C-alpha cells in the first residue's frame, strides 16, 4: 500500500513539474490525451489565438491545415509508440483563419495515470519567409549570371552565323533574279531564301538577348502600353475563341522604360498566353500599384507549365512549344528587358489550370527630383554613369 501511494505521489509531482516547466517555457507547450488537449501553456495560446478554455477539450488536428493533417497524425502515432521522431514542420490555422508555419516535436508521457503526448511547438513563419526570400534572391542572382554567360557566347556565335547568312541570302536572291518561273530549281531557291530569312530573325533575337540596348528611356503609362498590345491582338484572340478580361488600375501607372522594348515584352507574354489556349479560354490582365511598384498580371486558363519546367522557363533556348515557332528566346529576352529597368518577371502555374506571369517594375521617379538623385537612379537602375 505504501508503495502504491509513493508511486501516485511521484506521478503527481512529475505532472506538476511538467506544468511548471511548460508555464515558464518560451515555446508553445501542450499535453494531448485521448485525442484532446488537456493542458496548454500561455505561449501555445498566443501562437494559436485561442484561449485556454477554447483549447481544452479541442482535437489537436483541428488546428492543423487540412493538407498537413495526415503527416501530423503519423508523427503523433509514432510518439505514442515510443519512437521519438525528429522535429517536423506543418501549417497551423489560427483562430483568425490566418495560416502560420510551426515546428513541433512530440514525446510520450504519462499524465494522470494515462498515456499522453507532450508537444513542444514553435512558430517559424518568419524563418520560413526569410528562407524563401533568400532562395528567391539566390535563384535570381544565378539567373543573371547564367544569362550573362550565355549572352556573351551567343553574341560571338550570332556574329559568325550572320556573316555566312549574308552570303546565303545574297546568293539565293541573285539566283532567283536570274531564273524564270519555269526553272525547276526556283521553288528550292525560294525555300532557301525563306529559311535564311527565318534564321536571320532568330539571329536578331539572339543579338537582342546578348546585347540589349538601353533604348529611349522615358516616363510611360503601363496601362496604355498593355492596352496598345492588346488592341493589336484582339482580332486573333476573337478568332481563337479566347475571352479577354481587363482590370486596369484607375490611375496612370508611370514607369521609366523604353516604350518599344516593353511593348515587345507585353506582346510576347500575350502571345505565349494565347499559344497555351489553342482550344480557347480566358486571358485576364490586371494592373495595380503596390508598395512603390507597378504590377501587371497576365493570367491564362491554358495547359499550364509542369513543375519541372518552371525553374527553367527563363533559360535561353528552353521552350515548351513543340513546333518550329518556339525558339526559347522570347521569355529570356523579356526577362532581360524588365531586369534592365529595375524590375522582375515571376511565374505561377499549375498543369491543366493555367499560368500567371507577373511583371513588377518600380514606379517612375518624380520629375521634380534633384539632379543628383537622377544620377543615382541612372547608375543603379539603368546601369549608366
pLDDT surpassing 60 at residue 368: no
Q: pLDDT digits over 243-271, tens only?
A: 989 999 999 999 999 888 888 899 889 98
Query: What secondary structure does DSSP assign to 197-262, as a single string?
Result: HHHHHHHHHHHHHHS-----EEEEEHHHHHHHHHHHHHHHHHHHTEEEEEE--SS--EEEEEHHHH
Q: Give, as one character, the DSSP assignment of residue 64.
A: B
Query: What secondary structure does DSSP assign to 94-105, as a single string?
Result: -TTS-EEEEEEE
Q: pLDDT digits over 140-166, tens only?
A: 667 666 666 666 666 667 767 777 788
CATH no., domain 2-123: 3.30.450.20
Q: pLDDT digits over 108-144, tens only?
A: 888 888 888 889 999 999 988 888 888 777 776 676 6
User: Which pLDDT score is estimated for 292?
Assistant: 87
Q: Does domain 137-211 have CATH number 1.10.287.130?
A: yes
Secondary element (H or E) of residue 31: strand 28-33
User: Which pLDDT score is estimated for 239?
Assistant: 81
Q: pLDDT digits over 306-354, tens only?
A: 888 888 888 777 776 655 455 667 788 888 889 888 899 999 998 989 9
Contact 345, 296 (CB under 8 A): no
Helix axes 186-210, 125-178, angle to 10 degrees: 150
More confident: 56 or 199: 56
- Sketch the domain layout of the chain as residue ranges: 2-123, 137-211, 215-385
User: Which pLDDT score is estimated for 299?
Assistant: 95
CATH no., domain 215-385: 3.30.565.10
Out of 153-157, 197-201, 356-360, least confident range:
153-157
More confident: 362 or 325: 362
- For the record, the C-alpha cell of 48 comes out as 494559436
Cα-based distances in Å from 21 to 17, 31, 118, 126, 214: 6, 12, 12, 26, 64
User: Which pLDDT score is estimated for 245?
Assistant: 92
Buried/exposed 163-183: b ≥16 CB within 10 Å, e otherwise: eebeeebeebeebeeeeeeee
97 φ, ψ to 5°?
80, 5
Amino acid at each position: 500500500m505504501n508503495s502504491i501511494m509513493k508511486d501516485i505521489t511521484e506521478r503527481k509531482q512529475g505532472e506538476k513539474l511538467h506544468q511548471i516547466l511548460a508555464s515558464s517555457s518560451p515555446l508553445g507547450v501542450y499535453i494531448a490525451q485521448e485525442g484532446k488537449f488537456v493542458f496548454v501553456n500561455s505561449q501555445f495560446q498566443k501562437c494559436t489565438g485561442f484561449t485556454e478554455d477554447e483549447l481544452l477539450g479541442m482535437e489537436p488536428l483541428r488546428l492543423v491545415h487540412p493538407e498537413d493533417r495526415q503527416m501530423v497524425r503519423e508523427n503523433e502515432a509514432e510518439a505514442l509508440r515510443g519512437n521519438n521522431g525528429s522535429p517536423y514542420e506543418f501549417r497551423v490555422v489560427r483562430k483568425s483563419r490566418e495560416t502560420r508555419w510551426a515546428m513541433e516535436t512530440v514525446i510520450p508521457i504519462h499524465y494522470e495515470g494515462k498515456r499522453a503526448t507532450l508537444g513542444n511547438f514553435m512558430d517559424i513563419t518568419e524563418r520560413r519567409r526569410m528562407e524563401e526570400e533568400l532562395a528567391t534572391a539566390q535563384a535570381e542572382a544565378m539567373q543573371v549570371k547564367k544569362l550573362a554567360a550565355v549572352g556573351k557566347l551567343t553574341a560571338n556565335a550570332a556574329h559568325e552565323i550572320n556573316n555566312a547568312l549574308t552570303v546565303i541570302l545574297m546568293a539565293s536572291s541573285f539566283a532567283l533574279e536570274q531564273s524564270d518561273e519555269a526553272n525547276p530549281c526556283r521553288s528550292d531557291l525560294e525555300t532557301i531564301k525563306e529559311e535564311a530569312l527565318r534564321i536571320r530573325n532568330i539571329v536578331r533575337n539572339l543579338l537582342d538577348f546578348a546585347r540589349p540596348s538601353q533604348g529611349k528611356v522615358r516616363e510611360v503609362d503601363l496601362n496604355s502600353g498593355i492596352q496598345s498590345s492588346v488592341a493589336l491582338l484582339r482580332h486573333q484572340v476573337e478568332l481563337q475563341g479566347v475571352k479577354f478580361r481587363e482590370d486596369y488600375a484607375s490611375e496612370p501607372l508611370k514607369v521609366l522604360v523604353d516604350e518599344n522594348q516593353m511593348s515587345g515584352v507585353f506582346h510576347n507574354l500575350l502571345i505565349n498566353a494565347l499559344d497555351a489556349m489553342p482550344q480557347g479560354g480566358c486571358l485576364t490582365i490586371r494592373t495595380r500599384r503596390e508598395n512603390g511598384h507597378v504590377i501587371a498580371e497576365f493570367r491564362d486558363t491554358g495547359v499550364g507549365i509542369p513543375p519541372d519546367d518552371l525553374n527553367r522557363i527563363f533559360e535561353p533556348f528552353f521552350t515548351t512549344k513543340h513546333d518550329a515557332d518556339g525558339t526559347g528566346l522570347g521569355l529570356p529576352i523579356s526577362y532581360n528587358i524588365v531586369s534592365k529597368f529595375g524590375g522582375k518577371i515571376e511565374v505561377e502555374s499549375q498543369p491543366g489550370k493555367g499560368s500567371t506571369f507577373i511583371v513588377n517594375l518600380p514606379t517612375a521617379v518624380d520629375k521634380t527630383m534633384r539632379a543628383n538623385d537622377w544620377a543615382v537612379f541612372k547608375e543603379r537602375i539603368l546601369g549608366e554613369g
